[in-house]
Structure 1
Amino acid sequence: MKLALIKSLLLLGIIVFISCKSTRATTSEKSFAKGADVGWLPQMEATGYTFYDTDGSEKDCLQLLKDRGINTVRLRVWVNPSSDKASGHCSPAETVAMAVRAQNMGMRIMINFHYSDSWADPGKQNKPAAWANHTFPELLNDVYQHTYNVLMMLKQAGVTPEWVQVGNEIPGGMLWPEGSTKNWDQLGQLLNKGYDATKAVNKQIKVIVHLDEGNNNAKFRDFFDNATAQKVRYDVIGLSYYPYWIKSDYKDNIADLENNLKDMASRYDKEVMVVEVGGEDTLVQNTHDMLIAVIEAVKNVPGNKGLGVIYWEPQGARSWSHYPLSAWQKDGRPSPALDALKD
């Protein structure tokens, strides 16, 4: 009788262990963000662009993305943008509307604050026109209020983003010249204002600080060592990874990306995420294989600190945007490259 009882208990223990292990694996897989930045989508639809599935049937773009494993949407927000088709829109109101639509599709939400009226990136970090003549103390207030107000608009619409980016690709800082990395003390204060505003709306939102060239460890160490010295508050290190823009193939530097991801996670004890990635639309297999490799690199970060991978404007077809790194075909259908994101 005792022997039978012992065997039963051992069997029960094995079943519970396997079940827990399976649950952990499933939960970990489910929590991994596979995303798309779709800031151009409303403009594309407004100008009559039509999206089709592989069978030729017309379908909502977000559904097409969801069908390919995408569970997260990243949305940029500008302060007072123009109505230009490709370099305008993305106002707070438009961003809120898109966030509601994406959330209703079951998507997780990331909001990307550019703190500009148009594109902010390593080559330009122009202040919004309304802030152009503001003193530095006024700029601190501008960053706080803009961040807080947009997030409150989202909250009132029933949306709480999972992540908020304070600045977009800021290796040289933001809100130049006051927030340049030549003025690290001031840049640190601006970043902390964005962090504080975010946490004032919801402490659970994770704040991201984002640089380009995710394979460039020296660039990241230099920036985040300075951020540490300035006591900058953030939760996640965001990376862009575009082999196309550094004129290389992903096979030449995917190991550098993975090593940098691991180094950032351990050196600064932060979570990490590839918040922008893309490959040339004409090189379908290469882009597919690159995405597989990038996902693997992020998942290989120890301690489940690799949060996810987001494709930048996969739906932004070259015929509409003239952008060479979308994942959309000439016939309005998704590129097979996106199948890399399927579970």
Structure 2
Amino acid sequence: MNKIFVQLRQIFIVLITLTTFSCSNAQNPEGPKTTPAEPTVPTTFAFSKGADVGWLPQMEATGYKFYDTDGTKKDCLQLLKDRGINTIRLRVWVNPSNDKASGHCSPAETVVMAVRAQKLGMRIMIDFHYSDTWADPGKQTKPAAWANHSFTELLNDVYNHTYEVLNSLKAAGVTPEWVQVGNEIPDGMLWPEGKSANFGQLAQLLNKGYDATKAINPAIKVIVHLDQGNDNRRFRWFFDNAKANNVKYDVIGLSYYPYWLKSDYKATIADLANNLNDMVSRYNKEVMVVEVGGDYTLAQNTKDMLVAVINAVKNVPNNKGLGVIYWEPEGEKSWSGYQLNTWQSDGKPSPALDAFK
């Protein structure tokens, strides 16, 4: 009897469940409604091996051709991917000119390049300069459209520009994994209002970029970026002030160019490694070399330098060293005039790039 009772009880439960499901579907014949998922960024750790390729659209527009080592003409991004590159970094300017070397990189062009890179399976970093052209330690010129704005208006400018660019990317199906708020800013950005001598105002500007980024997707990691990544004193000064002024960020970005230090990388690589480790332990942040470069005429030396930098970042404890990005490897000298590319005069990639394999 007990077995029969249990069986009858199970049949009753099944009938009730089926009846409830049937009624639910009768009210909603198309089935349960679902909300489209937000674009997401990776949550598992994978070391980033990257290239900044802001010149690439201009190079292609002027007819420059890229070739593999066997002489086959190929897409530059594919050539980079074949050498282990998995990340593309793209600078964005507010209202740039059409100048070959110091123009382009508009929001619209950035979206096109990001979509193209993502289709090849690349991860994306967006580098906001908050200028119409190059921003770096020696120049942080406000966009012409913002030139006469008050500080309050500049805060809105930073938020709106950041949000609009990232929203355009999102609409195109791209959510960057990283967003850089400012480019090489040891002395601040949007001068004079955002100079680091007035760190309180700089902090507000940085936080507007952070807030706009997180409004698009809170999983995007925000980078604050300084040059001279081997200079621990420089980094401590800046990020101590950032902490005191409640700057919000996720990652400390570093540039490392031994060439500009007028020394071989072997003289400064230990300082870079020490600085990476100190930034993690002192501020509990992740670190990333977002710009690196070496002399294109010294391919083996540049390759050895890249191997050393990659190892230094990988050796940061607890996967807090996120990756290494080469600045404009494709910018071959005859086209760009830039000494620190990794491309040969025949349009083929330099063996130095094999460091990323």
- Partner residue of 1:100? 115
User: For each residue in 1:128-161, what CA deviation from the matched residue of structure 2 results, as whole angstroms up to 9, or x when unmatched?
Assistant: 0000000000000000000000000000000000
For 1:118 and 1:196, locate their aligned partners in 2 and report how far apart those are by CA, in whole Å.
Answer: 24
Q: Specify the alignment match of 2:306 in structure 1.
A: 291
Query: Which residue number corresponds to residue 304 of structure 1?
Result: 319
Superposition CA RMSD, Å: 1.2
1:182 shift after superposition: 1.1
Answer yes or no: is 1:79 the counterpart of 2:94: yes
| Contact 2:331-2:338 within 8 A present in 1 as well | yes
Q: Gaps (5+ residues) in structure 2?
A: 1-41
Aligned partners of 1:56, 1:30: CA distance in 2, in Å? 36
CA separation in 2, counterparts of 1:102 and 1:34? 14
Residues in 1 aligned to 2:162 and 2:292: alpha-carbon distance in whole angstroms: 25
- Indicate which of 50, 57, 70 corresponds to 1:42: 57
- The equivalent of 1:232 in structure 2 is 247
* Distance change >3 Å, CA 266–CA 36, structure 1 → 2: same
Q: Distance in 1 between matches of 2:290 and 2:83?
A: 18
The aligned residue for residue 209 of structure 2 is 194
Residue 43 of structure 1 aligns to a residue whose secondary structure is helix
Structure 1-normalised TM-score? 0.91
SS at structure 1 position matched to 2:117: helix
After TM superposition, the structure 1 = structure 2 runs for residues 45-84 of structure 1, keeping only pairs within 5 Å, are: 45-84=60-99
Aligned equivalents of 1:293, 1:244: Cα separation in 2: 15
**Secondary structure of residue in 2 paired with 1:154:** helix
What does 1:165-184 correspond to in 2, within 5 Å? 165-184=180-199
Deviations 1:269-295 (A, max 9, x none): 000000000000000000000000000
1:213 match: secondary structure = coil
Which protein is bigger by CA-based radius of gyration? 2
Residue 30 of structure 1: CA displacement?
A: 7.0
Corresponding residue number in structure 1 for 2:273: 258
Q: Is the contact made by 2:314 and 2:321 (CA closer than 8 Å) also made in structure 1? A: yes
Give the 3 Å change call, closer, same or farther, for CA 190–331 of structure 1 in structure 2: same
Question: Does the alignment pair 1:157 with 2:169?
Answer: no
Contact 2:45–2:319 (CA under 8 A) maintained in structure 1: no
Q: Which amino acid aligns with 2:255?
A: S
Normalised to the residue count of structure 2, the TM-score between the two structures is: 0.88
The aligned runs of 1:1-40 (5 Å cut-off) are: 31-40=46-55
Paired residue secondary structure (2:95): coil
**DSSP-derived class of the 2:71 partner:** coil
Q: Give the total of aligned pairs.
A: 316
Counterpart CA distance in 1 for 2:101 and 2:184 is 19
Identity rate, percent: 79
Q: Secondary structure at the match of 1:31?
A: coil
Q: Any residues of structure 2 matched to 1:116-131 within 5 Å, and which?
A: 116-131=131-146
The C-alpha deviation readout for 1:85-129, integer Å capped at 9, x for no partner, is 010000000000000000001000000000000000000000000
> What SS does structure 1 have at the residue aligned with 2:274?
helix
> Structure 1 stretches of 5 or more lacking a match?
1-26
Aligned partner of 1:88 in structure 2 is 103
Native 8 Å contact 2:221 2:251 kept in 1:
yes
What secondary structure does 2:77 align onto?
helix
Matches within 5 A, 1:312-327: 312-327=327-342
* 2:3 corresponds to: none
Residue 235 of structure 2 corresponds to: 220
Q: What one-letter code is carried by the residue in structure 1 that aligns with 2:84?
A: G
